Amino acid sequence: MLQDIDNQIYNLIQKESKRQIEGIELIASENYVSKAVLEAMGSILTNKYSEGYSGKRYYRGNEYIDQIEDIAIERAKELFKVDHVNVQPYSGSPANFAVHLAFLNPGDKTMGMALDAGGHLTHGFKVSVSGKYFDSVSYGVDENGYINYDEVRKLALDHKPKLIWAGFSAYSRIIDWKEFRKIADEVNAILVADIAHVAGLIVAGEYPSPVPYADIVTTTTHKTLRGPRGAMIMCRKPYAEAIDKAVFPGSQGGPHNHTTAAIAVALKEAGTEEFKQYSKQVVLNAKKLSEELIKKGYYIVSGGTDNHLMLVDTIKSVKLSGKEVSNALEKANITLNKNTVPNDSRKPWDPSGVRIGTPAITSRGMKESDMEKIAYFINTVLENIENNSLIEKIKGEVKDFTKRFPVPGIN
| Sites of contact with ligand DSN (CB under 6 A) | 29, 92, 120, 169
DSSP assignment of 214-255, as one string?
Answer: -SEEEEESSSTT---S-EEEEE-GGGHHHHHHIIIIII--S-
| Cα 306 versus chain centre, distance | 15
Which CB atom, from 92 or from 353, has the smaller least distance to ligand DSN?
Answer: 92
The catalytically annotated residue of 51, 66, 179, 291 is 51
Which CB atom, from 94 or from 255, has the smaller least distance to ligand DSN?
Answer: 94
CA gap 298, 301 in Å, rounded: 10
Yes or no: say if 246 and 101 are a contact pair by the CB < 8 Å rule: yes
Rounded alpha-carbon distances, angstroms, from residue 231 to 50, 92, 124, 159: 17, 5, 19, 30
The 10 Å CB-count burial string (b at 16+, else e) for 343-380 is: ebebeeeebbbbbbbbbbbbbbebeeebbeebbebbbb
CA gap 302, 95 in Å, rounded: 29
Q: CB of 24: closest distance to ligand DSN in angstroms?
A: 17
Q: CB of 251: closest distance to ligand DSN in angstroms?
A: 17
| 194 catalytic residue (yes or no) | yes
The catalytically annotated residue of 10, 49, 146, 376 is 49
Residue length of the chain: 411
| 288 catalytic residue (yes or no) | no
CA gap 221, 265 in Å, rounded: 11
| 229 catalytic residue (yes or no) | yes
| 66 catalytic residue (yes or no) | no
Which CB atom, from 169 or from 259, has the smaller least distance to ligand DSN?
Answer: 169
Could you check whether the bond before residue 249 is cis, i.e. omega within 30 degrees of 0? Answer: yes
Q: CB of 65: closest distance to ligand DSN in angstroms?
A: 27
Q: CB of 190: closest distance to ligand DSN in angstroms?
A: 21
The catalytically annotated residue of 69, 176, 194, 244 is 194
Q: CB of 30: closest distance to ligand DSN in angstroms?
A: 8
The catalytically annotated residue of 110, 122, 219, 220 is 220
Of 284, 298, 400, which Cα lies nearest the Cα of 354? Answer: 298
Alpha helices in 310-387 (DSSP H): 314-318, 322-331, 359-363, 368-383
CA gap 362, 368 in Å, rounded: 10
The catalytically annotated residue of 57, 75, 162, 223 is 223
Give the residues across from 220 on adjacent strands. Answer: 231
Which CB atom, from 92 or from 145, has the smaller least distance to ligand DSN?
Answer: 92
DSSP state of 45: G
Which CB atom, from 175 or from 187, has the smaller least distance to ligand DSN?
Answer: 175
| 49 catalytic residue (yes or no) | yes
Which CB atom, from 50 or from 221, has the smaller least distance to ligand DSN?
Answer: 221
Q: CB of 89: closest distance to ligand DSN in angstroms?
A: 13
The catalytically annotated residue of 153, 229, 331, 393 is 229
Amino acid code (one letter) for 326: S
Q: CB of 173: closest distance to ligand DSN in angstroms?
A: 16
Which CB atom, from 29 or from 252, has the smaller least distance to ligand DSN?
Answer: 29
Position with the least CB separation from ligand DSN: 29
| 344 catalytic residue (yes or no) | no
The set of catalytic residues is 49, 51, 194, 220, 223, 229
